[in-house]
Structure 1
Amino acid sequence: MGKFSRCGDQIAKGKKSAFRYHSTLAKKAQNVPYQILQELFSRLVERLGRGARRALLKPYKLFAVDSTTITFQHPDMSWAGYTRTRHAIRLHTKFDVEEGQPTQVVSTTGRDHDVMVAPKLYNDLESLSIITGDRGYARTSDFQDLHERNQFFVIRVAKFFSLSDEMEHSIPLESGGKVKVDQTAFIGKGSRKTKSRFRLVTFTDNEGNEIRVATNLMMMSLEDIAYIYKLRWQIELFFRWLKGNLDLSNLFGNSPNAVYSQVYGTLISYFLLRWV
């Protein structure tokens, strides 16, 4: 019993020490401009993005866009309003699927919706890039803008999206039965209606759920379009890894400097682990 008692005392001391460590770090981080870590992260992205690329979807470069929300409860977090009882920040991310790493992170409070931040993630795209995203990134004005800039996209749209002048096309037998609809149409209505026709492909996932995506890849096979959207899952795995392995879901500070310093410090740690 003496051994177990001593072990229990050591564990309790360890917990108190960890709490003091986090508390001290949070106080120090309040006075450190997080922009320093943000700039360091940007330089690491530039440095590590020069590596050799795998031939995933030659000649295209594939990026996934999505965001993750980190919520917390603290009386001194009014700057990060989210709901009446909780506060949150959101990390809007552009993710290089081939390299397996983020190339851009825009940090905002939890109330900033994906579709409002999306244009920032669409800037500085390489030629022959494809952007893939979920329904939070489906906005007809962005579809038209990307198309006019000769950038490609595969973005999921909700069933309630209005279509006009639909033209349905036959589906090749080699699609394996998973592709249900292949059509072109104008998307939206009124002032939000696109000026160009876009392709809409409906297919089923592994669980039989129907997914409809909009794209301007008019000549690409149906199987490749479905495959591109499925690769979007890689950014979800990245967010899970950050929160689970690097403990980003637990924020130890309450000021903007402390919170965003932890965020960009964690992102830097991710890059260094990949580099090593």
Structure 2
Amino acid sequence: MDKITPKTSFGQWFSPINLQLFEEQVKMMKLDYYTKKLTTESFLKLLLFAQLQEVESLHALGDCLFDDQLQKGIDLDSISISQLSRRLNGMNPDLFQRLFLDLVSQIHVKTHYTNLVMPLKIIDSSTLPLNLTNHKWANFRKTKAGVKLHLRLVFMEKGISYPEKAVMTTAKEHDRGQLEIMVDDKECMYVFDRGYLDYERFDRMTDDGYFFLSRLRKNAVIREVYNFKLPENTSVLLDQMVLIGTTQNRAENYFRLLKVLDSKGNELHLITNRFDLGADEISEMYKSRWAIELFFKWIKQHLSIKKFYGQSEWAIQNQVFIALIVFCLHVLVQIETRSKRKTLQISRYLRVALWKPAHIWLRKIEGKAIP
């Protein structure tokens, strides 16, 4: 069924997609009933191509089909813009979400995630602006509309970080409301920023056995219980056991407060329920938050969600999950080739070598000479 073979760079990059799972979902959701031309598989490949090449609109995507190699690669020679639009707006995003989660499972296996003593998971969100005129269902201010991508990112050593869980809501949704959905594993350490500050939830997480590290507002009411001795040559300014909150709104558990300086010399107040780690270890853990900031920056700059193709809620979600699939496919290449190159560089090489033999692209990623 698959017209793309691993002989092309695109085919090699696409190969981790679980086509058996894909076909089962397509059949169950009856997505190809009465479809004569634009099959769901061709549509998936066309959307992946659009993300890779940062195609700015469906009209531009239709024009791309003048390319003979693209036609052969996705088994489609032409398609009307209206058909593309109907597919994008009417397709349930559960399909692409399932493919994304399957790729995450593959990354878990290849990174030996299950063998890690205490994985680091970063939680954050990013608002993606929309045009209010065309997306009234997503309004959150008088003159603005938007959706919010709530994300959990696994932070690994050797420069590998990847999205593990994603939830799409309208921009009105507060970050705190998604924290319980994102926290579901007691064998890891969660890192998140002040947007998730909630003393009651901190108590529940601690009582339920979840570990977290967050940032505390500088004007937060605290009561010092114990001062820990700082090691020599540390960048940490203060390490205390504290109670947080006022008499009316106070957390019941004891927490650990650290004061550290960021790269710009600003003082940060960190709060955690971990007392078994060194102060410098805790400080380094919080610095890992930069990974999710870089991820949001990458996804906005280099994938074509700068301008959405459709207007419906499903269309927006479909495009975001396609973007997450693209990123995961890049990460799998990074792991397989054991390359030190960043995902951005891998993507650039792929765009240039899209229909060339796969070994040319792979050798370039690995830094080997091309015969």
Partners of 1:43 and 1:80 in 2: CA distance: 29
1:109 paired residue among 154, 166, 170: 170
SS of the residue corresponding to residue 192 of structure 1 reads coil
- Greater share of strand residues, 1 or 2? 1
1:193 paired residue among 250, 253, 267: 250
| TM-score under structure 2 length normalisation | 0.65
Residues 1-276 of structure 1 aligned to structure 2 (within 5 Å): 17-18=59-60, 24=82, 25-53=84-112, 59-98=117-156, 99-123=160-184, 125-127=185-187, 129-175=188-234, 178-190=235-247, 192-276=249-333
Matched to 1:97, the amino acid is F
Q: Any runs of at least 4 consecutive aligned residues in structure 1 with deviations exceeding 3 A, and if so which?
A: 14-17, 19-27
Size of the aligned set, in residue pairs, is 258
> Identity over aligned residues, as a percent?
27
Structure 1 residues 242 and 15, CA, compared in 2 at 3 Å: closer, same or farther?
A: closer
Partners of 2:57 and 2:305 in 1: CA distance: 19
Deviation at 1:33, TM superposition (A): 1.2
Deviation at 1:53, TM superposition (A): 4.1
Answer whether contact 1:74 1:254 (CA < 8 A) is retained: no
Deviation at 1:20, TM superposition (A): 6.2
Partner residue, 2:18: none
Instruction: Encode CA deviations 1:28-73: one digit per residue, 9 max, x unaligned.
Output: 311111121122222222232222348xxx7321001100110021
SS of the residue corresponding to residue 183 of structure 1 reads strand
Answer whether contact 1:201 1:213 (CA < 8 A) is retained: yes
SS of the residue corresponding to residue 82 of structure 1 reads strand
Matched to 2:281, the amino acid is D
| TM-score under structure 1 length normalisation | 0.86
Any unmatched runs of 5+ in structure 1? 1-13
